[in-house]
Amino acid sequence: MPDSQEAKKLSNQIEEINEALNDGMIVQVREVLSTMPSCDVALLLESSRSRTRSEIWQLIEPDQYSDVLEDLSEDVRNGIIRQMVPEILADALEEMDTDDLVETLSGLPEAVSQDALSSMDEQDRQRAEQALSYGEDTAGFIMNTDTITLRPEVTVDVILRYLRLKGNIPKGTDTFYVVDRSDQLIGSVPVTELLTARPAVKVEKLMTQDSVAVPVDMHENEVASLFERYDWLSAPVIDKENRLVGRITIDDVVDIIREGAEHSMMSMAGLDDEEDTFAPVIKSTKKRSVWLGVNLVTALMAAAVSDLFEATLSQLAVLAILNTIVPSMGGAAGNQTLTLVIRGMALGHVSDSNARWLIGKELAIGFFNGVIWALLIASVIALWKQDLMLGGVIAFAMMVNMIAAGLAGAMLPVMMKKMNIDPALAGSVILTTITDVVGIFAFLGTATWLLL
């Protein structure tokens, strides 16, 4: 990861702005902020601690509010909105595109979003309530409604004259959609087609008829994987009656793709996706405590298993010393399998038809891992503790636990997905519990049987 020029520039800017704030150079900071693009102001806010955030926010021009809010992550945005007067918030919301407006509203507490909605003008409120009605994480939620539609019988010449009259085309438009009299989607024409077509040609001659449309209630993750697979820049959204209701553009989908990929990593470490790196200490401590609580229960369960072998442990202290090796190796191997299967599911590679084969494969890897690491650990222990039998006991436990790890790592996500539980969230805790319990039982159990 080479240190990027851009990152350095921003890092310097943050430092300068902080210094200027400390020196009370309010006017200068206000001036710098007004020249920065909204995405950089958002990054500056996200990279600052919460006290500095409020100070900076007060120096931003109100006409920048909506752009900056759009670019902020949910946690940081909500923190700022909580300090805004409903009327000013409503003004900022009204300026947003439907997709950003809805995303912002949906993250707010019910009372705050109701206040904001009732301060908005009639037309914008209806627009927001319509989109909110599609339900969070659906295509309807992330779509825009500023779509330009064409009729099949119109010629290119007429369209070009209409567009010149209209003067501007919504951002991110790469395709025009063709609809009939009842708004049914019947085809699409790329913007570039209009440039190369002869003026007298009719739309129906130009349009592609078999273009794929996104149903308004499709889950956003599914929308994202369609965009990724087919390299789309935008896609039409249709309702149940095949009527065109909006379009989704790649810039919103990029966020979903990145968040989807990050989700697994954050969940596996017991973090909230939207966790704000610069949130206050108490808030962060609270957010992370659930996971640590679960981890404590797991650790106590492992201790309870060891407790069953107290007599053995009190006779052979060497077992206490080596007791963590087998569980640790099982946890590491199982986590590799778990991570791979979770990613395979997210990419759409793992499905019912090949799950059984995959479990078999990971079982086989568990077996080979078992052989390799059992032999290695047996040699190490036999040499270190000068005890061949002890080496044999730990080798056997390693063998058993590696197979259990491969099996659990592959089966857990498949089973959890069937039960509609997110494997990234709970998979690694359950896996570690299994590899701990199996590892300790196998090691201390075999030792009790053979060494005493």
In the complex, the smallest distance separating the C-beta of residue 286 from a second copy, rounded to whole angstroms, is 9
Q: Which of 129, 134, 136, 127 is nearest to 107 (CA)?
A: 136
> Do residues 163 and 169 make contact, with C-beta atoms less than 8 angstroms apart?
yes
Instruction: State which residue, 120 or 424, has the beta carbon closest to a second copy.
Output: 424
In the complex, the smallest distance separating the C-beta of residue 11 from a second copy, rounded to whole angstroms, is 3
Q: How many CB atoms lie within 10 A of CB 401?
A: 34
Instruction: State which residue, 102 or 329, has the beta carbon closest to a second copy.
Output: 329
Report d(CA 117, CA 131) in Å as an integer. 13
In the complex, the smallest distance separating the C-beta of residue 119 from a second copy, rounded to whole angstroms, is 28
Instruction: State which residue, 125 or 385, has the beta carbon closest to a second copy.
Output: 385
> Do residues 427 and 408 make contact, with C-beta atoms less than 8 angstroms apart?
no
Instruction: State which residue, 14 or 186, has the beta carbon closest to a second copy.
Output: 14
Instruction: State which residue, 15 or 129, has the beta carbon closest to a second copy.
Output: 15
Q: What angle do CA 88, 82, 33 make, to 5 degrees?
A: 65
Report d(CA 225, CA 256) in Å as an integer. 10
In the complex, the smallest distance separating the C-beta of residue 216 from a second copy, rounded to whole angstroms, is 14
In the complex, the smallest distance separating the C-beta of residue 257 from a second copy, rounded to whole angstroms, is 5
In the complex, the smallest distance separating the C-beta of residue 302 from a second copy, rounded to whole angstroms, is 6
Strands 244-249 and 185-190: unpaired
Instruction: State which residue, 119 or 298, has the beta carbon closest to a second copy.
Output: 298
Which residue in the block uniquely carries the two structure tokens 């992550």?
Answer: 73
Q: How many CB atoms lie within 10 A of CB 70?
A: 20
In the complex, the smallest distance separating the C-beta of residue 399 from a second copy, rounded to whole angstroms, is 14
Instruction: State which residue, 81 or 197, has the beta carbon closest to a second copy.
Output: 197
> Do residues 423 and 413 make contact, with C-beta atoms less than 8 angstroms apart?
yes
Report d(CA 400, CA 392) in Å as an integer. 12
Residue at 343: amino acid letter: R
Instruction: State which residue, 292 or 388, has the beta carbon closest to a second copy.
Output: 292
In the complex, the smallest distance separating the C-beta of residue 375 from a second copy, rounded to whole angstroms, is 12
Helix, strand, coil % (nearest 5) of the chain? 70, 10, 25
Q: How far is CA 91 from CA 60, 121, 311, in A?
A: 15, 9, 72
Report d(CA 34, CA 27) in Å as an integer. 11
